[in-house]
């Protein structure tokens, strides 16, 4: 069974709003002119591109995937070997945008990530994103049991 764990939007929350707006304006504009196709492509790229992690529990492998336009998945499968570990890391990302009137809009996302480490405790990739430390502890134990990994 393969599970898909959504991580982040590539261009942040401001990019999602801008891209979705361009996408819908392009759909309306394509009725009047074919130049609306450019807006549809640009809006779909900025608004819908995201990252996620695919976890294949049966074959013991994971894949950090970039989903271009929200549908085209790219990435490389990594086989889980003995010695790999799971850990929890706090993540805090701040997205900043500037308006034409030189005002700043900042959005901060705080969450916890379940991270896959190699045998030398070097971070390989994030596996899952959760909201609280308690949920992260439960999830890392469950994933460790399913994938037969130690907890860091």
- What is the radius of gyration, based on Cα positions, of the chain? 19
pLDDT interval class at 82 (50, 70, 90): confident
Rounded CA-CA distance 87/106 in Å is 29
pLDDT digits (tens, 9 = 90+) for 21-34: 999 999 999 999 99
% of the chain exceeding 90 in pLDDT: 72
Residue 38 confidence (pLDDT) above 90:
yes
Q: Could you give the count of Cα atoms lying within 13 Å of 68 in the half-sphere of its Cβ?
A: 6
pLDDT at 105: 84
- Sheet-wide strand order for 123-130: 123-130, 104-117, 85-98, 150-151
Q: Which two tokens stand for residue 107?
A: 């959005």
Residue 92 confidence (pLDDT) above 90:
yes
**Strand 85-98 to strand 104-117: parallel, antiparallel, or no bridges (unpaired)?**
antiparallel
CB 62 within 8 A of CB 77: yes
For 20, counting Cβ atoms within 10 Å of its Cβ (0-12 exposed, 13-18 middle, 19+ buried), the class is: middle
pLDDT at 119: 87
Backbone angles phi, psi at 101, to 5 degrees: -90, 15
Rounded CA-CA distance 42/21 in Å is 10
pLDDT digits (tens, 9 = 90+) for 137-148: 999 999 999 988
pLDDT at 16: 93
Residue 106 confidence (pLDDT) above 90:
no
């Amino acid at each position: 069974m393969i599970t898909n764990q959504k991580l982040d939007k590539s261009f942040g929350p401001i990019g999602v709003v801008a891209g979705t707006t361009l996408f819908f304006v392009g759909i309306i504009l394509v009725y009047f002119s074919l130049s609306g196709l450019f807006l549809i492509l640009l809006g779909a790229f900025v608004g819908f591109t995201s990252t996620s992690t695919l976890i294949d529990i049966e074959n013991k492998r994971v894949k950090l995937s970039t989903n271009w336009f929200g549908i085209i998945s790219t990435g490389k499968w990594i086989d889980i070997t003995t010695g790999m570990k799971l850990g929890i890391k706090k993540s805090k990302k701040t997205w900043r945008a500037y308006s034409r009137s030189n005002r700043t809009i900042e959005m901060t996302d705080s969450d916890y990530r379940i991270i896959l480490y190699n045998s030398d405790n070097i971070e390989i990739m994030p596996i899952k994103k959760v909201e609280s430390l308690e949920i992260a502890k439960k999830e890392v134990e469950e994933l460790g049991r399913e994938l037969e990994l130690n907890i860091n």
